[in-house]
Amino acid sequence: MPQQTAGVSAMRILIALSILHLANDALQSAISASYPVLKSEMQLTFRQIGLITLAYQISASVFQPVVGIFFDRRPWSRALPMGMLFTLVGLASLAFARTPLWAMASVFITGIGSSTLHPEASRLTSLASGGRRGFAQSLFQVGGNLGGAIGPLLVAIIVAPYGQRNIVWLTALALMALMVAQPVSRWYRKQLTANRQVANVRVTRQMPLSPLKTVVTITILLVLIFSKYVYMSCLSSYYTFYLLEKFGVSVAQSQIFLFVFLLATAIGTMLGGPVGDRIGRKYVIWISIVGAAPFALLMPHTDLLWTVIMSFCSGLMLSSAFPAILLYAQELLPYKLGMVSGLFFGLAFGIAGISSAVLGKIADVHGIETIYRFCAYAPLLGMVAWLLPDLKRK
């Protein structure tokens, strides 16, 4: 009975962490979705929009490994509520910002919430997994995928029709997440009190590879993150424009087809972790990234129906890779869960942001179809996954 009770409690924590991820990513994605409103009301230039994005990326992406390292050394049960409080304050400030500098400071504060949640929530996801780390990480990731899709919808309904000040209403979601974070914080405090070894997120087994092999393997994983997020950024940022230009669909139809793609990413994320638990992370990574290559290469040469099908298959395959990549990296460095999570989440966001900007410039010069033909080769970089050691056997 105690074991059953502990399992139910852990599942509640995993669901709560997924909800927190959903709320965080919804609010973070709402920032970029609000740019047209901010540009109009504050008379911003595109250069100023770029500076605001840079300020956000520094706090939301670059800070993640730093936050992970800090809490690896000094675990704190209140980290998640504190991170969500930063998000709440940043959004409230952004709603009333009147200058570019004010807006930059606001998004910087909001980004700190994201840089806190991802490494810390990933650490707690591992602690609450009960050995089913793939399932737990996938459940956590699905929350983020759904949140990323919900954020622009919230802006379209709440902010765009009424103006910048209505951003303040988004703080209601942050307040709800702050309440959800309270029982998670209490659960984590009990873990810290019960066992200081768990508090430092240390495990009894040693590193599976030598230091040199670990560095080489981490480098391979970073290449895989690059190949995945260059193509995912192409799809997520410019898919609707591609459909509008090539097939002449309506805006409403393009949004439906984008939803199909986002649905595929949610399904793929949920599948990637549990399958990795069964067959090993290496093979999930290999199959998902390289398996997306045929669909990516064929998509620019197909009609509308097959384009939608290819985008679904590409999203399904590629999205299953990230939980496996993150867990593989955590298994390489079992004493640095926060640092590893922050590094890979931060890199993923950073590559996505930079790729969107670069691809946008290419699309301006050479056309939207060019970037789809160009980026179709990115998944082929995933062939380096074959060089990964099989940690499941070890």
Number of Cβ within a 10 Å radius of residue 206? 8
**43-91 pLDDT, tens digit each:** 877 678 767 877 887 888 778 888 888 887 888 889 899 999 999 999 9
pLDDT value at residue 290: 79
pLDDT value at residue 393: 54
pLDDT value at residue 205: 52
Q: Is the pTM of this model over 0.85?
A: no
Q: How would residue 8 be classed by pLDDT, with cut points 50, 70 and 90?
A: low
Q: How would residue 169 be classed by pLDDT, with cut points 50, 70 and 90?
A: very high
Structure tokens at 300: 């620019």
Q: Does domain 2-199 have CATH number 1.20.1250.20?
A: yes
For the chain, the domains span 2-199, 211-387
Side-chain half-sphere of 307: how many Cα atoms within 13 Å?
20
**267-278 pLDDT, tens digit each:** 888 787 788 778
Percent of the chain with pLDDT over 90: 19
Whether 368 and 242 have beta carbons less than 8 Å apart is answered as yes
Q: In Å, how far are 33, 229, 341, 378 from 384, measured between CA atoms?
A: 35, 15, 21, 12
**361-382 pLDDT, tens digit each:** 777 788 878 888 888 888 888 8
Side-chain half-sphere of 193: how many Cα atoms within 13 Å?
7
pLDDT value at residue 3: 46
In CATH terms, 211-387 corresponds, of 1.10.3720.10, 3.90.25.10, 3.40.50.10490, 1.20.1250.20, to 1.20.1250.20
**193-251 pLDDT, tens digit each:** 775 544 444 444 567 788 888 888 888 888 888 888 788 877 766 777 788 888 888 76
pLDDT value at residue 324: 83
Cβ-Cβ contacts under 8 Å for 262 (sequence gap 6 or more): 145, 148, 149, 236, 315
Q: Do domains 2-199 and 211-387 have the same CATH topology?
A: yes
pLDDT value at residue 23: 93
Q: In Å, how far are 39, 228, 239, 299, 316 from 310, measured between CA atoms?
A: 35, 16, 12, 6, 10
